[in-house]
Amino acid sequence: MELTLAGRKAIITGSGSGIGREVAVRFSAAGATVAVCDVVRETADKVAAEITGAGSQAQAYAINVSDFAAVQQLCERVAADLGGIDILVNNAGITRDNLLLRMTEAEFDRVIAVNLKGAFNFTKACLRGMMKSRWGRIINIASVIGQMGNAGQANYAAAKAGIIGLTKSAAKELASRSITVNAVAPGFIATAMTEKLDAAAREAYIAGIPLKRAGTPEDVANACLFLASELGSYVTGQVLRVDGGLLM
């Protein structure tokens, strides 16, 4: 078996930047046709142009992942444009950090709507086609925070813990149709989101990582590529931590 996605069609949410962008680039390099989905159309267009400029196939789409009806319509359009959807990566996510005492209902609801409900929306929208073809890969981007918690991130931790529960339940429901469902749980990854932390906070995080470095979007994309390929065909319902040993 080879680490290839030749002939596969993949839809990746939140792929206008960061981890999602790297997954889109990596999947396209492995032979997949990619639907680059982001809430900001301009960033999706930029990534799709980068991929097509490298000789691979991609199309850009703008979507609010928390809008159930809009997601249904989008996935129908993507399936028509690409000729189906074989692989779904639920990566779209936001943070609205605050201590519980100060966290507003809006801050909690928004993170759950994007990070958790968004994954449900896309999974639901892609299922029928995957079940009909009796093949599929669903990869949900969780977080070690969903397993260990973190002060000031109760909303984010709850959403990512929910992603893990969704992953395991879906894996049990879909295995008979040769659809695998797994979660990748990044640790401290060097992205625009983590760059907002001050230097002291970043150093504190890295000090707690046995490998003594921040992860990269490429590290996460490599794990996704394995799970999406035939090499990962006997792996389902699992949480693969990509965290340098942060959580053991």
Q: Which of 61, 156, 205, 234 is catalytic?
A: 156
The mean per-residue pLDDT over the stretch 124-129 comes to 97
The mean per-residue pLDDT over the stretch 142-166 comes to 97
1 confidence band (pLDDT: 50, 70, 90): low
What domain range is 229 assigned to? 9-242
For residue 100, what are its two tokens? 């519980």
Q: In the chain, what percentage of residues exceed pLDDT 70?
A: 100
Which of 143, 192, 187 has its CA nearest to residue 22? 192
Which residue in this structure is represented by tokens 């959403």? 159
| 197-226: pLDDT as tens digits | 778 878 888 999 999 999 999 999 999 999
Q: Is 247 a domain residue?
A: no
d(CA 153, CA 174): 31
pTM score above 0.75: yes
Pairing verdict, β 33-38 and 58-62: parallel
Which of 183, 171, 81, 67 has its CA nearest to residue 127? 171
Per-residue pLDDT, 103: 98
> Does 156 participate in catalysis according to the annotation?
yes
Work out how many domains the chain is built from and give that number: 1
- Find the helix or strand (DSSP H, E) in which 35 lies: strand 33-38
What CATH number is associated with residue 236?
Answer: 3.40.50.720
Per-residue pLDDT, 11: 98
